[in-house]
């Protein structure tokens, strides 16, 4: 019986912490877009992740010296 005097307040504190974390997550926007990540998997990624100006320049083949002269 004496253990109930300790377990009930601990349970109430855990429930209060869980409710507080839930309220924090709702206010911070964790539940704003629930369907977006699921649809994003199905979309095709045509756009490269690296912008063109950041890419390494392509190596061009230089014609031999004999081909440059007329």
Q: What is the pLDDT of residues 11-65, one digit of tens each?
A: 999 999 999 999 999 999 888 888 887 887 777 666 666 666 666 666 666 666 6
Cα–Cα distance for residue pair 5/31, rounded to 1 Å: 37
45 backbone φψ class: left, alpha, beta (φ>0; ψ -120 to 50) = beta
For residue 9, the model assigns a pLDDT of 95
Which two three-digit tokens encode residue 70?
């007329």
The pTM (predicted TM-score) of the whole model is: 0.50
Confidence of residue 1 (pLDDT cuts 50, 70, 90): confident
Q: Which residue has the tokens 């709702």?
A: 26
């Amino acid at each position: 019986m004496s253990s109930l005097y300790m377990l009930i307040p601990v349970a109430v504190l855990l429930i209060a912490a869980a409710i507080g974390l839930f309220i924090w997550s709702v206010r911070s926007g964790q539940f704003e877009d629930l369907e977006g990540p699921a649809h994003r998997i199905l979309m095709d990624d045509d756009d490269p992740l690296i912008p063109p100006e950041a890419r390494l320049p392509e190596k061009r083949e230089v014609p031999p010296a004999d081909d440059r002269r007329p």
